[in-house]
Amino acid sequence: MQSIIQVTGLQKSYAGQRVVDGLDLSIHKGECFGLLGPNGAGKTTTLRMLLGLIAPDAGEVTLLGLPVPQAAREARIRVGVVPQMDNLDPDFTVAENLLVYGRYFGLTDGEVEARIPSLLEFANLTNKRDAKVPTLSGGMKRRLTLARALVNDPDVIFLDEPTTGLDPQARHLIWQRLRELTQQGKTLLLTTHFMDEAERLCHRLAVMDNGRLISQGSPRELIEQNIEPQVVEVFGETSAEWANEHAAKYAQRFELSGESAFCYVQDAQPLVAHLQAQSALRYVHRPANLEDVFLKLTGREMRE
């Protein structure tokens, strides 16, 4: 399998604090790879080192076969970036934003002009070609940022939280487009806080915390390796009391969080039968998902 991004022993410290602490990654051609982790885990610092925007203290990065940061400029000609915050030029129209961005890659206006119709079609923005950026909705701006990242027909696209702040319709459209890109053989590296997004889009995922990789695999593998297959969430004022007294009889593992008890079980039927007789408690029975894995691996306490 062709490796598009290869990372070994990557390290970075700020003010004596290791924020990336010995990272190894191998990302293959045509895959969508997700980097997950709570705030402060080191995801953005990692992306910036992979792009050669900041230098690592130690370790090696190869991007599209080129050493980074030494040959980062050359590698970045074949890379697209969708940053966390939209940084479109508000004074320009949709088409002008694409033209100006193309110039950073040494493309002539004529070359970009020739690509604009297909980029706008991809982004569902054909009828917004001459609209100024401030008149676009949040979803349109994100789609324009994605189209802009494709102006140089990149082989790899870095996406830092591509759907944060979007409504469900806008997210689904972005997901559809990202799938089309991997089907075309492009490689995607994305960060996200949405576990449903990661589960749906990513072929493989790495979970990071405190600068280290703590688990890696396909969404299904991460769920199977880390968590019981069924979850029963029990809600109500007396849920903690109920859980402390009864949960261990039915569940392999349980966690309390506010007025909810999360019960992780191999077989939910005995627990569900028991709960049906408890009128003070409500419950939801569902299959385990990536969010359960994430919370198990990184904890339920808030990170600022």
Nearer to ligand ADP, 207 or 247 (CB): 207
DSSP line for 102-148: HHHTT--HHHHHHHHHHHHHHTT-GGGTT-BGGGS-HHHHHHHHHHH
Asked if residue 288 lies in contact with residue 266, where contact means CB atoms within 8 angstroms, the answer is no
Q: How far is the CB of 17 from ligand ADP (least distance, A)?
A: 7
Q: How far is the CB of 80 from ligand ADP (least distance, A)?
A: 19
Site for ligand ADP in 26-45 (CB under 6 A): 37, 39-45
Site for ligand ADP in 240-299 (CB under 6 A): none
Q: How far is Cα 7 from Cα 10, in angstroms, rounded to an integer?
A: 7
Q: How far is the CB of 65 from ligand ADP (least distance, A)?
A: 25
SS3 71: coil
Site for ligand ADP in 193-222 (CB under 6 A): none
Q: How far is the CB of 209 from ligand ADP (least distance, A)?
A: 9
Nearer to ligand ADP, 17 or 257 (CB): 17
Q: Among 53, 47, 58, 56, which Cα is nearest to 5's?
A: 47
Asked if residue 245 lies in contact with residue 254, where contact means CB atoms within 8 angstroms, the answer is no
Query: Binding ligand ADP by CB under 6 A: which of 8, 18, 19, 193?
Result: 19
Q: How far is the CB of 179 from ligand ADP (least distance, A)?
A: 24
Asked if residue 121 lies in contact with residue 141, where contact means CB atoms within 8 angstroms, the answer is no
Q: How far is Cα 56 from Cα 225, in angstroms, rounded to an integer?
A: 32
Nearer to ligand ADP, 182 or 298 (CB): 298
Only one residue has tokens 């604090």, namely 17
| Residue 81 DSSP label | E
* Number of residues this chain uses to bind ligand ADP (CB under 6 A): 10
Nearer to ligand ADP, 41 or 271 (CB): 41
Q: Among 41, 72, 40, which Cα is nearest to 56's?
A: 72
Q: How far is Cα 157 from Cα 184, in angstroms, rounded to an integer?
A: 12
Nearer to ligand ADP, 41 or 195 (CB): 41
Nearer to ligand ADP, 44 or 289 (CB): 44
Asked if residue 114 lies in contact with residue 142, where contact means CB atoms within 8 angstroms, the answer is no
Only one residue has tokens 């080191």, namely 42
80 forms part of the interface with ligand ADP (CB under 6 A): no
Nearer to ligand ADP, 40 or 236 (CB): 40
Q: How far is the CB of 20 from ligand ADP (least distance, A)?
A: 7
Q: How far is the CB of 270 from ligand ADP (least distance, A)?
A: 40
Binding site for ligand ADP (CB under 6 A): 14, 19, 37, 39-45
